[in-house]
Amino acid sequence: MGEILSLDTAIAKREAMRWAKQTLVFTNGHFDLLHVGHLDYLEKAAALGSVLFLGLNGDVSSALLKGTGRPIVPAEERARLLAALIPVTAVIIFNENTAVGLINALRPEIYVKGGDYAQPGKVLPERAIVEGYGGRVELIDYLPNHSTSALIAKIKTLP
């Protein structure tokens, strides 16, 4: 089972991973209303390296980036659910709008985001810092027809 870490603890664990020659994979997101699409994405991300750290947008940044009424599930609960998933080694809650600060602190070998960032004009704000220190960005396609927004829309149609 994974852990919920402070940034300082995550940095210390990261240093130990370097000595052990483990490959850190890092991803981040909101992960509101956990569903099988999330699990599929995390399984694919974890398969790319030795350890998967997940930066979880806290309640403040989720509300700002996702809009009114979001997140549906509070950050502490989302973190607990995510840390219980086999692919996830650790969860770090953050409240910035991007994961640039986390990435700069942890410097993962591989940074993973959803395949929607391959669309023309969709900017991945973390790309420059990852590539700047020699890391690799991997885009993973989402499981078709599985998204939190679609799940919320479906729930809204229920009688």
Each of the 159 residues of the chain gets a pLDDT tens digit; together they read: 899 999 999 999 999 999 999 999 999 999 998 999 999 999 999 999 999 999 999 999 999 999 888 999 999 999 999 999 999 999 999 999 999 999 999 999 999 999 888 888 889 999 999 999 999 999 999 877 777 778 888 888 889
Q: Quote the pLDDT of residue 150.
A: 82
Buried b (16+ CB within 10 A) or exposed e, 122-137: eebebeebbeeeebee
Buried b (16+ CB within 10 A) or exposed e, 4-35: bbeeeebeebbeebeeeebebbbbbbbbbbbe
Q: Quote the pLDDT of residue 149.
A: 78
Best CA proximity match to 77, nearest among 152, 140, 4: 4
Q: Quote the pLDDT of residue 6.
A: 98
pTM of the model: 0.93
Backbone angles phi, psi at 20, to 5 degrees: -85, 0
Q: Quote the pLDDT of residue 118.
A: 85
In the block, residue with structure tokens 């979880």? 56
Domain 3-156 has CATH 2.40.110.10: no
Q: In sequence order, what are the residues at sequence separation of 6 or more whose Cβ sits closer than 8 angstroms to the Cβ of residue 81?
A: 31, 34, 73
Partners of 137 in beta bridges: 111
Q: Please state the domain extents for the chain.
A: 3-156
Q: Which two tokens stand for residue 134?
A: 């020699």
